Amino acid sequence: MDQRTAIVVGGGIAGLAAAAGLVRAGWRVTVLEQRQDHVEVGAGLAITRNGMAALEGICAGTTVHAAGYQAFVAGTRNYRGRWLLRIPDTRGDPDSMNWVCGVHRRRLHQALATAAGEAELLTGAQVRAVEAGDPAGAAARVTWRKDGSEHAAWADLVVAADGIGSTVRTQLFPDCRLAYSGKTSWRAVISATNDVDERFTITWGPGTEFGAVRISHREVYWYGYFHYPADTAIHDELAAARRHFARWPLDVQRVVGATEPEQLIRQDVYHLTVPLPTYTHGRVVVIGDAAHAMLPTMGQGANTALEDAVCVGRMIAAPVHVGADLSDAMARFDQARRPRTQAIAQRSRLTERVGADLRTRWSQALRDAAMRIMPPAATAKAGSQVLRWRPPPNPH
């Protein structure tokens, strides 16, 4: 039988991980990435249990472990330093759901590129259009622009992993638009400071969420997600960040204070408010932010993108490689992935409502009082349902 072919649109986290899964299932893979340099910018990430399980499913778990820093989620406090939810310290428990691996995005990217080794990566290739084809008939066709000229190729499967502003999603699902979250986010990787140890603590203040996690022995990643109008320039970002957190706990002030101007980046945060009716269309499967761009309040965007990617390999590529029907395999993927990721996106919105959305003193006081009477074990259990995910078995 001829080797099956896949074109992956986008060489980000989802795209490279999907390429790794497809290659492992015996497919010939081309990744089209619009950026010339293909160096991941951005700061850090916290890989949770489910994301690590996905990485292990494409044989990248050990590398990411080694490249990152093991931390654990200590809980959530308010900006006056009072704990709202304190998660029991389960360090040393191999089954703990609180465990996270802080990692620099660039290192995660390198690990994924290595895992996708045999895939052909074309950089500077901007995809313009996709003809979705028919799983039982015509192949899919992808058109892209590279070095000033148009190119096109046919494939058995197209994986749309082109991120939040996805060209492919916009073409196939024009009604599913992005909306501004009402918030922007500072992010920075700074030299390690004693203010951040192996605990990953989230802090909620007026209209703001702050978090910091170690991503190596030498580095700490922090983010501050806060209300701000879209597309609004700030003259001196670092001075504004220092002012913003001036009355927050001392450790937060010191982390922001230790930041150099060139380490600080800021990005307005958008999300998909109208969920996609399906993650598959013809021979196209949509994954990662392209399918379910969610708010960052549960830290699940990249983790669910990794889940999607390993499922492309295990639920579509591997079964089809051993004779399964492509439309059946794509339907099973959609049934498995859409409810889960859309529920997590929904929970991210709910988390935001009790976190960074609250701007007034009374609304925060009300929230704090309600959270203090909630049993922490129940809250932690609800979160752990997301984290318990494991990749489907390989059909080989």
Ligand X SMILES: Cc1cc2nc3c(=O)[nH]c(=O)nc-3n(C[C@H](O)[C@H](O)[C@H](O)COP(=O)(O)OP(=O)(O)OC[C@H]3O[C@@H](n4cnc5c(N)ncnc54)[C@H](O)[C@@H]3O)c2cc1C
Q: Which residues contact ligand X (rule: CB under 6 A)?
A: 9-15, 32-35, 45-46, 126-127, 161-164, 167, 185, 187, 223, 225, 267, 269, 288-290, 296, 299-303, 305
Place of tokens 């909620």: 204
Least Å from the CB of residue 101 to ligand X: 11
**Closest CB to ligand X among 164 and 358?**
164
Provide the sign of the torsion angle of the four alpha carbons 204, 205, 210, 211, taken in this order: negative
Name the CA radius of gyration of the chain, rounded: 21
Least Å from the CB of residue 136 to ligand X: 27
**Closest CB to ligand X among 185 and 364?**
185
**Left (φ > 0), alpha (ψ -120 to 50) or beta: where does 326 sit?**
alpha
Tokens of 70: 């093991």
Least Å from the CB of residue 38 to ligand X: 7
Least Å from the CB of residue 105 to ligand X: 8
Residue number with the shortest CB distance to ligand X? Answer: 12
Residue 58 is given by DSSP the state: T
Contact (Cβ atoms closer than 8 angstroms) between residue 209 and residue 203? yes
Tokens of 294: 């969610």
Least Å from the CB of residue 308 to ligand X: 8
**Closest CB to ligand X among 289 and 334?**
289
Q: Break the chain down into helix, strand, coil percent, rounded to 5.
A: 35, 30, 35
**Closest CB to ligand X among 28 and 35?**
35
**Closest CB to ligand X among 52 and 354?**
52
**Closest CB to ligand X among 165 and 322?**
165
Q: How far apart are CA 355 and CA 359, in angstroms?
A: 9
Helix axes 105-115, 13-24, angle to 10 degrees: 20
Count the alpha carbons within 13 Å of 235 in the hemisphere toward its beta carbon.
0
Residue 76 is given by DSSP the state: E
Which amino acid type is present at position 46?
Answer: A
**Closest CB to ligand X among 315 and 386?**
386
Least Å from the CB of residue 265 to ligand X: 9
Distance of alpha carbon 379 from the chain centroid = 22
Least Å from the CB of residue 394 to ligand X: 23
CA distance to 72, 221, 245, 346, 387, per residue, from 75 (Å): 9, 17, 19, 21, 15
**Cα angle 334, 380, 70; round to 5:** 85
**Closest CB to ligand X among 225 and 279?**
225
**Closest CB to ligand X among 181 and 368?**
181
Least Å from the CB of residue 176 to ligand X: 15
Cross-strand pairs, 190? 220
SS3 of residue 247 by DSSP: coil
